[in-house]
Chain A
């Protein structure tokens, strides 16, 4: 036990004396979580803070066109900005990003609508994101269809009164995310995503230490002192496992307390937060075993830094860390499902988004443990091969 205590203490001391390692493991993910959470906040939730500003130009005056203009202005999250500008000037202002889009009610609006021809022109500003553009387009289409139906059915007796009902009255929408109907926010995606990214980055300090030990003869000295491969391995796994768990705590605290303090949404832990512990442990074991393999397959610190950096970024890009999986096409989602970071992220989402239980996380936990076993087998194989080559 004394030997393990000495090995663990040494490893933690080395990490504490390594400002670059601390930057990589704690500062980088914390900064990423803060930046990405706030940057993507509007992409995740169409909250009352989001306004899609638009100018409207009506070139037709009728009851229908006025109803369209009025209803469009009252449609959330669209926000009509009053202006006296003409069409050309409006385009110049949209070009300058003053508004997100322009709506022009064409002359002969009523006839065009009834004939199911384009009665409205919509122009988007160059900087409008596709997500916002599709929201705006959807709202305009929805209104036009409603007006068309209202017009066609207006003359039918007994229908008039029911048509007065608003669309919202005819539809009940809610989210499975929680009972209040709230939608998951950016923080729910970004905290677990960047946490996993950071957890796998322990490959850099761990492999650096191990390669230094190998190059400086320290490993040789430890072996001559009777410290076998199992103890040496455990002496790396345990402290970095602890470091991973500290990362989990730090990033979850940021999501729970710091982000709301800065005006963002609060991270909610779901109905069964104990499941987070299981996923964190499995993800940590996967990350540590991956780091051990990186240290074994590389000979220099430069190689280890490049290999771990490149593979981490690929795993993160495919695994839905950098771009959420639901935004990817089907093929990319299928490829991404092979990334250990995707398994970890899905495990966290089971608890954080899907209100799942520990049982729901078992497939992902199993995959991560399988990955751990594979990495450890490859590490042992490489270690033995290296020992046979170099004595």
Chain B
């Protein structure tokens, strides 16, 4: 269980706050969707969860342990999968997996097993000796995800893991994430694809201007969604647009 309590954050004392009093409870094994327009504060929230930005004491707890303490953080076994292809294109899939397993302290005796496990989960067994730079967009996304699975995470932070890939690869990745949830991994998932979040996540939060605007199950959120102007069924997208206003953000 992840508890975020009254989390406030700004990049400098004089800057405007990026996060304003965030309160969230994310149950264990949940597939949690985090939605928000660009500049809403999602990346900052993910960065704090991933330990990239130090969080103030008493604001972030995983299984009751305060994540402001380094020892608790390493025990939490979390893993971040960034939106970019965060690996080395000149190296092979195996070399990338070996490197990231190595820096996470995977023992040598376990190394091969972990690499094959992560490659197996993401369907990369046949491509272990291919150069990462030569892989298709979909395979690169799968490698990005495979690296995030090397430490057998209990909490997986996914930042738009299906951007720019074909439907087959997207389906495969979503199925892999669903499987991870079934196997006990808590997943926090950000995406601009509303239908993906609808399909995948059992709890969803919509945030904007550094605040959580709505939080609940898909059914709970849809109950609040306005009827589409075209007379279609209420959707997550219409609720999202309604809550975050329809103006362009970029």
Do A and B make up one complex? Answer: yes
B52 to A220, Cβ gap below 8 A?
Answer: yes
Separation of A221 and B86 alpha carbons in the complex (Å): 7
A6 at interface (Cβ–Cβ under 8 A)? yes
A5 to B102, Cβ gap below 8 A?
Answer: yes
Range, interface on chain A: 20 to 34
A389 neighbours in B (Cβ, 8 Å): 11
Partner of A227, one of B82, B95, B98, B103: B103
A226 at interface (Cβ–Cβ under 8 A)? yes
A391 to B11, Cβ gap below 8 A?
Answer: yes
A263 at interface (Cβ–Cβ under 8 A)? no
A13 to B95, Cβ gap below 8 A?
Answer: yes
B207 at interface (Cβ–Cβ under 8 A)? no
Say how far A19's CB is from chain B's closest CB, in angstroms: 10
B44 at interface (Cβ–Cβ under 8 A)? yes
B99 to A221, Cβ gap below 8 A?
Answer: no
Task: Output the nearest chain A residue to B96 by Cβ-Cβ distance.
Answer: A10
Given contacts A225-B103, A391-B47, contact A10 B84 (CB under 8 A): no
In A207-235, the 8 Å CB interface with B consists of 215-218, 220-227
B105 at interface (Cβ–Cβ under 8 A)? yes
B87 to A218, Cβ gap below 8 A?
Answer: yes
Given contacts A3-B105, A6-B99, A6-B102, contact A221 B80 (CB under 8 A): yes
B86 to A391, Cβ gap below 8 A?
Answer: no
Partner of A217, one of B83, B90, B95: B83
B172 at interface (Cβ–Cβ under 8 A)? no
Separation of A391 and B90 alpha carbons in the complex (Å): 27
B50 at interface (Cβ–Cβ under 8 A)? yes
Interface residues as binary, B146-157 with A (CB distance below 8 Å gives 1, 0 otherwise): 010001000000
B102 neighbours in A (Cβ, 8 Å): 2-3, 5-6, 9
A5 neighbours in B (Cβ, 8 Å): 102
A221 to B82, Cβ gap below 8 A?
Answer: yes
Say how far A133's CB is from chain B's closest CB, in angstroms: 53
Given contacts A14-B91, A225-B100, contact A218 B86 (CB under 8 A): yes
Partner of A220, one of B12, B86, B108: B86
A360 at interface (Cβ–Cβ under 8 A)? no
A223 neighbours in B (Cβ, 8 Å): 51-52
**Interface residue ranges, B against A (CB under 8 Å):** 11-12, 44, 47, 50-53, 73-74, 78-80, 82-88, 90-91, 95, 98-100, 102-105, 108, 147, 151
